[in-house]
Amino acid sequence: MTITDKDQIIRLLAETPAEDVYRMADEVRHNNVGDEVHLRGLIEFSNVCRNDCLYCGLRRSNLAVKRYRMSEDEVIAIARRAADIGFMTIVLQSGEDLYYTRERMCKIIKEIKRLNVAVTLSIGERTADDYRAFRDAGADRYLMRIETTDRDLYHRLDPGMSWQKRYDCLMTIKDLGYELGSGIMVGLPGQTTESIADDLLFLSHIGIDMAGIGPFIPHPATPLANEAGGTLELALRTMAVMRLMMPDINIPATTAMESLHPEGRIMALQAGANVVMPNVNDADYSRLYELYPGKQAAHRSPAIGRSSIVAKIEAIGRTIGTGQGGHKKKA
């Protein structure tokens, strides 16, 4: 059963009892990607951002944020520590911060690749030449959410940015042979169920390898402070329907889900998800990476953070992925 019909997607998003959708997604997950949960060590290496997205706590107009940038050596040291405790994928994430030039990024990527891990970048829109250089330096995967496929909504929420440009970046990244990750937020002001169905169809059409769904959580220091935000149920449902539509992709249990419920990620793992991305920064930095309020801070030590999530994953009868956990396409 692969779902491609928009009316059916809308029914699954809005009418079918949530528990039924979760159960179906859990079964499809089990049958297609198995019981392994892949862990990715997430390094948020800079919270400086040139963009001004209305929803994001790190938007450049938010002058209350204390900004930080890690040195190249610092990023590499954190990656080494993460690899030492067992992470087989390192995700390098930051705001759109051009301090990290092509040369600086390539140096970081090359050093981290010596650790025998997969490297995922999540640093936003760059030039095609940058993407090519990062790929040549050894980067394996790239994450960039499209956020919404409603062009008008996108342009309202991301002033100064272009939806078409973001789409073009995604296509360039894909053509360069990266594994491509994307995703959306749900519960954005003005977003409809139909629009979310369009988002899922879009993700399916572009042939993504990984996609994350996060509930929009209003941040008090942004223009959207008084909006309602997305619910955990809407995020879980959207994610579960995505699993029904894309049976073999990697789907993370997102941190934003955990912000709405202490067991949000475990619930997600039982409704279609098969990836978790624990933060491996020091807590001091991760407190400053506040995309939305309640964002779970890193544990005092990444080793403790890792073992606590591992224990929870094993408690629901799942195992920890033993390889790099890339997208294994089914015919």
Give me the helices (H) in 193-295, please: 193-205, 232-245, 255-260, 264-269, 283-287
Q: Chain centroid to CA 148: how far?
A: 14
Could you say whether residue 163 binds ligand 5AD (CB under 6 A)? no
Among 21, 79, 185, 208, binds ligand 5AD (CB under 6 A): 185
Amino acid code (one letter) for 267? M
Residue carrying the six token digits 């309640």: 294
Q: In whole angstroms, how far apart are CA 7 and each of 2, 11, 28, 246?
A: 14, 6, 20, 17
Q: Which is nearer to ligand 5AD, 125 or 140 (CB)?
A: 125
Among 126, 219, 237, 306, binds ligand 5AD (CB under 6 A): 219
Q: Which is nearer to ligand 5AD, 154 or 292 (CB)?
A: 292
Residue 123: CB minimum distance to ligand 5AD, A: 10
Choose the stretch contacting ligand 5AD; rule: CB under 6 A; options: 83-91, 154-162, 174-182, 212-220: 212-220
Binding to ligand 5AD (CB under 6 A) within 289-308 occurs at 291-292
Could you say whether residue 45 binds ligand 5AD (CB under 6 A)? no
In Å, the largest CA–CA distance within the chain is: 51
User: Do residues 28 and 246 lie in contact, with contact meaning Cβ atoms separated by under 8 Å?
Assistant: no
Total residues binding ligand 5AD (CB under 6 A) = 12
Q: Residue 186, SS3?
A: strand
Q: Which is nearer to ligand 5AD, 58 or 70 (CB)?
A: 58
| Reduced 3-state DSSP string for 200-226 | HHHHHHCCCCEEEEEECCCCCCCCCCC
Site of interaction with ligand 5AD (CB under 6 A): 55-56, 145, 147, 185, 214, 216-217, 219, 256, 291-292
